[in-house]
């Protein structure tokens, strides 16, 4: 799980950013719209995504390994902005096919109202090609300031798909032959010397 946590957190720091900056109302993965805005730029692939460019039902395809430069802020605050210290908390979670994993979480107190950073990640191949829901929220003084969600899909094909296809072919063949008659050779002996 530690490998998944490290790997996914980079791609998913976009959501941390998504849960911390100002935006427009026409497209937004954030609730309430515009309460927070975030962006992420993947260094190797050149891909850039913004929270205000997507709807919660969108699927964002991300590279399996890359470095993400992320930025985010609460509405009305520019990068580098500080303000009164307040208690903050939040988390980013990824819903995997076998349960959820917390990618990142934060807490304590802070004077920052905007933040940026860079994170390298290397996702396990087992997550390739699978659509997963990424969601998070940011709280201040115990009140949810913003929350957001979007679907992510890791580029590439999943190695388990080939195994599943092989099992499908084998089980299909077994079903085919299960309904066919079985040829049995019965030996009948005839007594050539009755008597």
pTM across the whole model: 0.67
**CATH number, domain containing residue 76:** 2.70.50
Asked whether 32 and 20 are in contact (CB, 8 A), the reply is no
Residue 80: its pLDDT value, please? 86
Per-residue pLDDT of the chain (195 residues; tens, 9 = 90+): 333 333 334 333 444 334 333 333 457 899 999 899 989 999 999 999 999 999 999 999 999 999 999 898 999 899 888 999 999 999 989 898 888 888 888 899 999 999 898 989 888 888 889 899 999 999 999 999 999 999 999 998 876 655 544 554 555 555 555 555 544 444 444 455 555
In a domain, 79, yes or no: yes
Residue 181: its pLDDT value, please? 52
In a domain, 92, yes or no: yes
In a domain, 16, yes or no: yes
In a domain, 179, yes or no: no
Residue 177: its pLDDT value, please? 54
The residue with tokens 């679907």 is 151
Q: Which two tokens stand for residue 102?
A: 């917390």
Looking at the structure of the chain, the number of domains it has is 1
In a domain, 177, yes or no: no
Structural domain boundaries, residue 16 = 2-159
In a domain, 144, yes or no: yes
Residue 175: its pLDDT value, please? 52
In a domain, 173, yes or no: no
Residue 99: its pLDDT value, please? 87
Q: Which two tokens stand for residue 40?
A: 């992420």
Residue 98: its pLDDT value, please? 84
């Amino acid at each position: 799980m530690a490998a998944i946590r490290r790997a996914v957190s980079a791609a998913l720091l976009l959501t941390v950013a998504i849960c911390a900056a100002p935006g427009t109302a026409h497209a937004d993965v954030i609730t309430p719209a515009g309460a927070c805005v975030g962006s992420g730029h993947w260094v190797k692939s050149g891909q850039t995504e913004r929270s205000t460019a997507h709807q919660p039902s969108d699927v964002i395809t991300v590279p399996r390994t890359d470095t993400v430069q992320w930025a985010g802020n609460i509405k009305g605050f520019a990068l580098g902005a500080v303000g009164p210290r307040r208690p903050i908390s939040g988390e980013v979670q990824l819903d995997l096919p076998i349960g959820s994993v917390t990618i990142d979480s934060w807490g304590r107190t802070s004077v920052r109202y905007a933040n940026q950073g860079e994170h390298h990640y290397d996702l396990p191949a087992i997550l390739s090609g699978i659509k997963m829901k990424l969601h998070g929220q940011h709280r201040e003084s115990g009140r949810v300031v913003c929350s957001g969600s979007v679907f992510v899909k890791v580029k590439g094909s999943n190695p388990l798909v080939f195994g599943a296809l092989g099992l499908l072919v084998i089980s299909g063949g077994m079903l085919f032959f299960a309904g066919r008659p079985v040829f049995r050779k019965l030996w009948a002996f005839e007594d050539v010397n009755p008597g």
